[in-house]
Amino acid sequence: MAVCGRPSLTASTMWNAPRGHIGLCSVSLFLLLLLAACTGGEKMRMELVLAEADSMNRGYISLASSDSILTEATHYYDRHGTPNQRARAHYLLGCAYRDKGEAPQALECYQQAIDCADTTAADCNFRLLMSINGQMAELFHAQNLPTDELPCWKRYCINADKARDTLEYIRGLELSILS
Residues 108-162: pLDDT tens digits? 999 999 999 999 999 999 999 999 999 999 999 999 999 999 999 999 999 999 9
Sign of torsion over alpha carbons 107, 109, 110, 111: positive
CA distance 141 to 151: 12
Average pLDDT over residues 158-170: 96
In the prediction, which pLDDT does 116 show? Answer: 97
What phi, psi does 42 have (nearest 5°)?
-65, -40
- pTM confidence score: 0.77
In the prediction, which pLDDT does 179 show? Answer: 75
CA 159 vs CA 31, 94, 104, 151: distances in Å:
46, 19, 23, 12
CA distance 101 to 105: 9
CA angle, 163 as apex, 122 and 146 as ends, to 5°? Answer: 120
CA distance 101 to 143: 12
CA distance 119 to 140: 24
Q: How many CB atoms lie within 10 A of CB 36?
A: 14
Q: In a 3-state reduction of DSSP, which class is residue 3?
A: strand
82-109 pLDDT per residue, tens: 999 999 999 999 999 999 999 999 999 9
CA distance 47 to 45: 5
In the prediction, which pLDDT does 42 show? Answer: 87
Assess contact for 129 and 111: CB atoms under 8 A.
no
